[in-house]
Amino acid sequence: MPRTARDVVFVDGVRTPFGKAGPKGLYAETRADDMVVRAIRELIRRNPSLPPERVDEVAIAATTQTGDQGLTIGRSAAVLAGLPKSVPGYAIDRMCAGAMTAVTTSGAGISFGSYDVVIAGGVEHMGRHPMGEGVDPNPRFLADKLVDPTALVMGSTAENLHDRFPQITKERADAYAVRSQEKVAAAYAAGKIQPDLVPTAIRSADKGWGLATEDEPPRPGTTLESLAALKTPFRVAGNVTAGNAAGLNDGATACLLAAEDVAAELGLTPKMRLVDFAFAGVEPEVMGVGPVPATEKLLARNSLTMDDIGLIEINEAFAVQVLAFLEHFKIADDDARVNPWGGAIALGHPLASSGVRLMNQLARLFEERTDVRYGLTTMCVGMGMGGTVLWENVNWEGAK
């Protein structure tokens, strides 16, 4: 039978507040699966016209698929969230781009006609499951010189980027980090971040039950002077610090995708339209440049240039990685299109969950910026990859 690709829309997205990983963090005694269950339940609550049985798939990413973020978490979270047992689910892993890949994979299924409605997202409890926990890298990676020894240490790959782009100095990276903190503080003060946050129950053996209502990682008042004094843990006299990189964080995200015609049928209001996506590989030891070829591939395939892109949500794993992307595309370090409400250096980066956080913020920005037609969500990925998704604003005034 002939098949026609369908338009895919991003209907809604939510996330838990992000916490600091570790024994004193928000979620130190909260399970990872409970965090993503909270996000899924909130999606269903916010979209009452969606019958839960109409959800065709639940795709949830985790980088470290063990313990309370293992057990095919897409399926287990669907059951725990109270979705009908008829709703299937699966787990996915592309390190930092896990949730992004959950969206692109399940979205492609919608376009193909296999699904009508899906929930996609990610979770990472880095306090319970540090990145690389239980991993046994094949000795051939080093013995056969397939990768540089620094490839498996993300902070070291960022130092390698500074080597490759000596014009991106520590001072320039610190200045970018300060702006990220300032933008997040301003966005919080203006009430821009809060609509995406799901108040999430937390517990402590000492303090009892509580409620997480805002992100824990931001450090308002950060200055260039305070960042200049930080240690460089990945290299003596290096450039990468805890201040110009994302921290170790816990958090979960989830979003609702649908075929555009099905969204209309169910009375769901889309926020943006999925146009295309691309992933690309690079040398693992400089994984931070991954967004560059992914974005180049995507723009070329859609006959666009960066001048056509009105908003860019790029994950701030490291300031140097963002600056390398901006420099390649001849975008100023302080271009207003880039992360207008700040990014992961301030908000945090719970690995596999972060892709949907980028989408949530882009969707909110699209609602305000009806003059903007196209936006990107893009990120670097461990082991030498990059991913970029092209979105179209359904509220674009040029379409009226």
**Strands 8-15, 272-281: parallel, antiparallel or unpaired by DSSP?**
antiparallel
Q: How far is CA 30 from CA 71, 95, 251, 295, 312, in A?
A: 17, 22, 10, 37, 33
In three-state form (DSSP H/G/I as H, E/B as E, the rest C), the secondary structure along 252-306 is EEEEEEEEHHHHHHHCCCCCEEEEEEEEEECCHHHHHHCHHHHHHHHHHHCCCCH
Write the CB contacts of 29 (distance below 8 Å, at least 6 apart in sequence): 202, 203, 204, 205
Helix (H) or strand (E) holding 391: strand 385-393
Residue 118 pairs in a beta bridge with 57, 257
Based on DSSP, count helices (H) and strands (E) in the chain, helices before strands: 12, 12
Catalytic residue ranges = 96, 349, 380
- Render the burial of 135-167: b for 16+ CB within 10 Å, e for the rest: eeeeeebeeeeebbebbbebbbbbbbbbeebee
Alpha-carbon gap, residue 194 to 24, rounded angstroms: 23
Strands (E), 104-167: 117-125
Alpha-carbon gap, residue 140 to 146, rounded angstroms: 7
Asked if residue 28 lies in contact with residue 212, where contact means CB atoms within 8 angstroms, the answer is no
Phi, psi of 165 (to 5 degrees): -125, 75
